[in-house]
Amino acid sequence: MILDGRIWVLDDDDINTDVIYPGKYTYEPFGPEEMAKHALEDFDPDFASKVEEGDIIVAGRNFGCGSSREQAVTSLKFAGIRAIVAESFARIYYRNAINQALVVIDCADASRFARKNKEKVHGSRARIDTENGRLEILGEEFSFVPLSGKALEIFDAGGLVEYTKRRLASS
């Protein structure tokens, strides 16, 4: 899968799930479209109104730490984020993203480059080749471990729910 999108540089480490999707909305019965309106509002109050379909977030270490709430993935996905590149991810956030078919890429070199060159990178475009593990930002190329195995099957199905439905239907 090839992704091409505008970059949002979130120049911070430890961006937690309460920042990604504010905790005050956790128990509200919002659907995905309503959740998207609150994506990252504690980090950048204008984010949800400015994000576009296909955009890519580049962040620092331990992205998605905190709770296991899936709203932190859902809100970004339905806001239009297609991929998140970070130096590292909280384990549960990473798995929740795969389950919902939101591309998450561990690439410390790309994260450091984007953060060091934030003024040039923020708003520029990235090209991601998920199958070959290649990421390009401002003409610089970075490598990462490509999606494979069950994770790729889950992405191809559109998420874990659809993957499971297909598996059950074929058995």
The pLDDT, as a whole number, for residue 68 is: 85
Q: Which domains does the chain have, with CATH numbers?
A: 2-170 (3.20.19.10)
Question: Where residue 56 falls among pLDDT bands split at 50, 70, 90?
Answer: very high
Q: Is the pLDDT confidence value at 38 over 90?
A: yes
The pLDDT, as a whole number, for residue 26 is: 86
Q: How far, in Å, CA of 10 to CA of 20, rounded?
A: 11
Instruction: Taking residues 43-70, report their average pLDDT.
Output: 94
Cα 74 to Cα 44, 126, 159: the distances in Å are 17, 22, 11
The pLDDT, as a whole number, for residue 83 is: 98
Query: Residue 138 contacts by C-beta under 8 Å, 6 or more apart in sequence?
Result: 117, 120, 121, 124
Cα 14 to Cα 19, 24, 88: the distances in Å are 10, 19, 9
The pLDDT, as a whole number, for residue 67 is: 85
The pLDDT, as a whole number, for residue 3 is: 96
The fraction of the chain above a pLDDT of 70, given in percent, is 100
Q: How far, in Å, CA of 121 to CA of 115, rounded?
A: 8
Q: Is the pLDDT confidence value at 27 over 90?
A: no
Q: Is the pLDDT confidence value at 154 over 90?
A: yes
The pLDDT, as a whole number, for residue 165 is: 94
pLDDT (tens digit, 9 = 90+) per residue, 83-131?
Answer: 999 999 999 999 999 999 999 999 999 999 999 999 999 999 999 999 8
